[in-house]
Amino acid sequence: MYGNCCLDRIRIMDAGDMSIRTWPEGERPREKLLTRGSTSLSDAELLAVLLGSGVRGKDAIALGRELLMRAGSLGALLGRPDQDIRAVGLGPAKRARIAAALELARRSLAEQLAERPALGNPRESGDYLSSRLRHLPYEVFACLYLDNRHRVLAFEELFRGTVDGANVHPREVVRACLRHNAAAVIFAHNHPSGVAEPSPADQAITRELGQALRLVGVRVLDHLVIGQAEAVSMAERGML
């Protein structure tokens, strides 16, 4: 009797793991994606397709819902996938699959933005740089190198850590601008706390970099502080 009870419990859990397979074919996330298109799926269903399968006692859609609930929103989940994916007990293969898909999405968005004829205002620059930096859990100082028509030549993360005079080296920034043959540059760094407010240290290093780059004929167009909800332009605030 004890053996039968345990077997019944295992069968119940296995049925829960594979319950999506018992759904009508047109309602399964993967089949919906293929027949109706990706826009027909909810956020949880799209995550379920990425996950591929559930875990014991929980199907893939239930896992997707739990990920979204823990993060609070899809945007928050995209910004810190490892933190929430580990919390629901996913294995390394599923974590790697989701992380890779999110990175592809971010790179695709960055490429689309880079294909614009030029970055002509702080909003366009903010869109581009937010797509590259907003999700990072650590602080990064990055440069967007532009030609004389403000078209994107390259994007590069130069330094990691707190943005201040000890960590951002003007000599390295000048060298990078010359290497990319840039006529202008836009600086950016993210605030993992989510608050996009320039600090006195941000303003000081921006002035120091601007002075160094003027000597080699490179214009500093802006320095953007990237938070979770917005990108603040120091040029718009008159801080350059």
Domain co-membership, 98 together with 135? no
Does the residue 194 lie in any domain?
A: yes
Q: What is the CATH number of the domain that holds 143?
A: 3.40.140.10
Q: Are strands 219-226 and 184-190 parallel, antiparallel or unpaired?
A: parallel
Q: What is the pLDDT along the chain (240 residues), one digit of tens a residue?
A: 334 444 333 333 343 444 677 788 778 888 888 888 888 888 888 888 888 887 777 888 888 888 888 777 776 666 555 555 665 667 778 878 877 877 787 777 667 655 655 677 888 888 888 888 887 878 889 999 999 888 888 888 898 876 554 488 899 999 999 999 999 999 999 988 878 888 888 899 999 999 999 999 999 999 999 987 789 999 999 988
The pLDDT value recorded for residue 82 is: 59
Does the residue 220 lie in any domain?
A: yes
State which residues form the domain around 69. Answer: 2-109
Domain co-membership, 124 together with 89? no
Give, to the nearest 10 degrees, the angle between helix 92-114 and helix 43-51: 120
DSSP at 164: S
Q: Report how far residue 71's alpha carbon sits from residue 75's, in angstroms, rounded to the nearest whole number.
A: 8
The pLDDT value recorded for residue 223 is: 95
**In 72-169, which residue ranges form alpha helices assigned H by DSSP?**
74-79, 81-87, 92-114, 122-133
Burial 133-160 (b: 16+ CB within 10 A, else e): bbbbeebbbbbbbbeeebbbbebeebbe
Could you say which of 59, 87, 109 is where a domain stops?
109
Domain co-membership, 104 together with 123? no
The pLDDT value recorded for residue 9 is: 37
The pLDDT value recorded for residue 16 is: 42
Does the residue 10 lie in any domain?
A: yes
User: What is the number of other CB atoms lying within 10 angstroms of the CB of residue 111?
Assistant: 10
Backbone angles phi and psi of 105, in degrees to 5:
-65, -45
Could you say which of 109, 134, 149 is where a domain stops?
109
**Cβ-contact 59, 20 below 8 angstroms:** yes
Give, to the nearest 10 degrees, the angle between helix 122-133 and helix 92-114: 160
Does the residue 239 lie in any domain?
A: no
Domain co-membership, 46 together with 102? yes
The pLDDT value recorded for residue 72 is: 73
The pLDDT value recorded for residue 17 is: 42
The pLDDT value recorded for residue 15 is: 38
The pLDDT value recorded for residue 96 is: 81
Domain count, the chain: 2
Does the residue 238 lie in any domain?
A: no
Rg (CA), the chain: 23
Domain co-membership, 161 together with 224? yes
Does the residue 13 lie in any domain?
A: yes
